[in-house]
Structure 1
């Protein structure tokens, strides 16, 4: 890598004189690749490879990870430094934040990955900024995805916010298009909520069915332990469905036609729906609740639809 130095005889040599703040200077040397002494080769699976030049000292000041990378016992000797788990556009945004304090990303979806990059390089202030943007952009389309992200990185406030959106707009959130790649664990968490805005428990049963189908793709190629875990989670989800608040017609036209329940379970459930005084017991572990879930406004007050 060649080092770039300004020409002392160039009239633009005194470029620092036109800058009001130190960050204006660091922005200038980043954009013009001046005095650079390290290089990153960034290539995620979905994007073409890009190279980025930077300054060891500036990165070290910003991050203890970069400090160990450049000046620690196991200092990185190779040039360029290879980065394979971050998209080039996101890595560029990471550098720009370190040098300027600004974040420039075209899509709010990139903030999930920028958060990951900030966590990887131990930049807590950037993590906080990413969480703010992610939360501001949570809606019915991505609430489940946002919840899973927050759970993975133990961001409790974002988890709570996503569950709030899910509880308020449950019917929209649990549409088939929004459940692509959503885990059964997330559906189980939703089923644990007593306050959900659903017209019928069938909405929740359909969500379980969709996720079971999505999670069951390529099941024959999955290890036995993963298949076993999937079945265990599916059973747990089904046991949280409040079948007893369904009408006989709803059950007959929905769950009774599904292959998620055995014929014995279908019979036992239908007997209990049709006749509350039935001596037939519900299948072991299944919900015996006959209470409909509360509408969200009954739990937390009225007027919330104005916000979403």
Structure 2
């Protein structure tokens, strides 16, 4: 053994010493065989350090039946994810750079009971949700009972349905997820044909996957039997190796879920050239028919159905005829096929497009704002927008350079922006008394990139109490503070407001600077009222469309939105 290098002298912090031991393997007393064949790697560890961080490792090394394998097989965690998990244990560092990596690391953190790491991974997943990965995130959240993440995924699916359905990743989701999506009452689709076309693509993808699995399976029955009976999570990995070529982390965290997914694929693929009835199997496993039954065929026109679903092999000739009869006549004495939806009501549209958009309530401000009358619109109509020094930017993803030019010009020349109000209608009035300091906040998410300018809040109602605190019949001196936070709680902008205002009005509070808001990300607006008196709080709508921009309020934990009825409007432009 060589002379010691005195490496400790160079490490001034505990995490530096831990990093050295992890990187060099010095004094290691255990090893792990990580990954599934043929990609496996042996990684050295230190029992004491691992047991200090994880009760699972503690039981593994110092419990009543300590682990005696050397190396210890870890077949259900990806190599990179396990290395990141060890880095967190040894140094406290958390490296998250992609959605897939966060899923993998969160799986390992759950397995080895590292709650802080789980929290950081789910927070990253929360902030990195898009239509292309919302379904996979939903499956991950469902697998690990992350209810808040599940809810947000469903909101993204509901508000961006066509994007979700048309993305190639939808053809690789679990069948249960397809059924869940088709069961939602709120979907942003033009018609049920969007769902049926997605089902057709999903069916073809399942058939191709099944054929691919057959072509790559061993011809020797003994080999196949040996693979089926081999223990450990690697069984499901081998049987469904071709899942998602764009992501290496797709092979896990669901070593447990992959077996279910491959089973779904084998049991649900419809025959492409036959018209056989597709009845659920006796064991009640989900089939593609379970998803087809959720489609509201009765909301289609006879022509739509005849030119599409009626010609598809996903329905039998008898089923197609029966459905068509019910479309043509609401009083048809021919019952719908067993299990098929009898609903004639279209899905609720969350964004102003599609046949039901005209049924959406347009919320309007009922009282003029004391700041500027042109910033609000009267009952049933809007005031003409203020002219811009440049053309209004188009509605697309890369609007910020143009919008930034407009904002810069506006700041330097004192112009006015085209202000749009996302107005939250008051469903129930519940006034609130402020005795000293009154906090209110609301979380929200939008489906398009916008520029947030400010918020609108109500002023006080006159009373004997506020008459004795500086108020008069004509108004009072308001004093409040407003701020905007991102999903991590970082402050993006703020403002202090002090001015004399009339009673029972809606007050525009503009932030110190406009803030660029990204779609499908969570933000939080907070207001602190510092004047004693009664405020008309109320219960407000949680979903509002404003000029084709859809807002979802009250996202996440219930504690994140407090007295949110005091925030009546979001003022924005785009």
How high is the TM-score relative to the length of structure 2? Answer: 0.48
Segments of 5+ residues of structure 1 without an aligned counterpart are none
User: 2:160·2:447 contact (CA, 8 Å) conserved in 1?
Assistant: no
8 Å CA contact 2:171, 2:205 repeated in 1:
yes
| Maintained 8 Å contact 1:115/1:130 | yes
CA contact (8 A) 2:54 2:113 kept: yes
Cα deviation 1:108-161 (Å, max 9, x = unaligned): 312222112112211121112111222222211111111111111111111111
Q: Look up the match of 1:21.
A: 13
Separation in structure 1 between the aligned mates of residue 210 and residue 88 of structure 2, nearest angstrom: 41
Alignment of 1:44-63 (within 5 A): 44-45=36-37, 47=39, 49-63=40-54
| Alignment partners' CA distance in 1, 2:35 and 2:337 | 52
The one of 178, 188, 192 aligned to 1:197: 188
2:121 pairs with one of 130, 149, 159: 130
Match of 1:114 among 92, 105, 125: 105
Greater CA drift, 133-142 or 206-215: 206-215
1:173 & 1:117 partners in 2: Cα distance? 28
1:305 to 448, 453, 466: 448
Instruction: Indicate the structure with greater helix content.
Output: 1
- Change in Cα spacing, 1:167 to 1:73, as seen in structure 2 (3 Å) is same
1:104 to 79, 88, 95: 95
- Work out the CA distance in 2 between the residues paired with 1:201 and 1:223: 27
Alignment partner for residue 289 of structure 2, among 221, 224, 235? 235
> For each residue in 1:224-272, what CA deviation from the matched residue of structure 2 results, as whole angstroms up to 9, or x when unmatched?
9946368853332222111111122211111011111121221121122
Three-state SS of the structure 1 residue aligned to 2:347 is coil
How many aligned residue pairs are there? 298
SS at match of 2:32: strand
Which whole-Å CA distance do the structure 2 matches of 1:38 and 1:283 have between them? 61
Q: CA RMSD in A?
A: 2.9
Is the CA contact (8 Å cut-off) linking 2:132 and 2:167 kept in structure 1? no
Please say which of residues 17-26 and 82-91 is displaced more in the overlay.
17-26
User: Contact (CA 8 Å) 1:184, 1:208: kept in 2 or not?
Assistant: no
Structure 1 length-normalised TM: 0.85
User: Is the CA contact 1:239–1:285 (under 8 Å) kept in the aligned structure 2?
Assistant: yes
Whole-Å Cα distance in 2 between the matches of residues 83 and 235 of structure 1? 37
2:203, 2:108 → 1: CA distance? 32
1:30 and 2:173 aligned: no
Superposition map of 1:208-287 within 5 A: 208-216=199-207, 217-218=209-210, 226=267, 228=281, 233-287=287-341
Q: Helix, strand or coil: the match of 2:173?
A: coil
Q: How has the CA–CA distance of structure 1 residues 6 and 243 changed in structure 2, closer, same or farther, with 3 Å as cutoff?
A: farther
Query: Cα offset for 1:20?
Result: 4.2
Equivalent residue number for residue 73 of structure 2:
82
Question: Which stretch shifts more, 231-240 or 243-252?
Answer: 231-240
143-152 vs 274-283, greater mean Cα deviation: 274-283
Cα distance between partner residues in 1 of 2:267 and 2:305: 30
Task: Please name the residue that 1:296 is paired with.
Answer: 350
Distance 1:135 1:45 in 2: 32
Is the Cα–Cα contact under 8 Å of residues 180 and 211 in structure 1 kept in the other structure? yes
The equivalent of 1:147 in structure 2 is 138
Query: Aligned equivalents of 1:231 and 1:158: distance in 2?
Result: 26
Cα deviation, 1:20-59, whole Å, max 9, x if unaligned, reads 4322322232223333222222232363x32222211110
Q: Distance in 2 between matches of 1:254 and 1:231?
A: 27
Change (3 A) 1:233 1:79: closer
Distance 1:206 1:280 in 2: 26
Contact 2:135 2:177 in 1 (8 A): yes
Structure 1 pair 223/197, CA: closer, same or farther in 2 (3 Å)? Answer: closer
In structure 2, relative to structure 1, the CA distance for the partners of 1:52 and 1:184 (3 Å cut) is: closer
Q: Is the 8 A contact 1:6 1:34 kept in 2?
A: no
Matched-pair contact (CA < 8 Å) for 1:150–1:156: yes
Structure 1 position 198, deviation (Å): 0.5
Shift, 1:209, TM fit: 2.5
Q: Partners of 2:84 and 2:92 in 1: how far apart?
A: 10
Gaps of 5+ in 2: 215-261, 269-280, 352-359, 364-421, 423-445, 450-518, 521-574
The answer (yes or no) to whether the contact 1:176–1:210 under 8 Å persists in 2 is no
2:299 and 2:344 in contact (8 A); partners too: yes
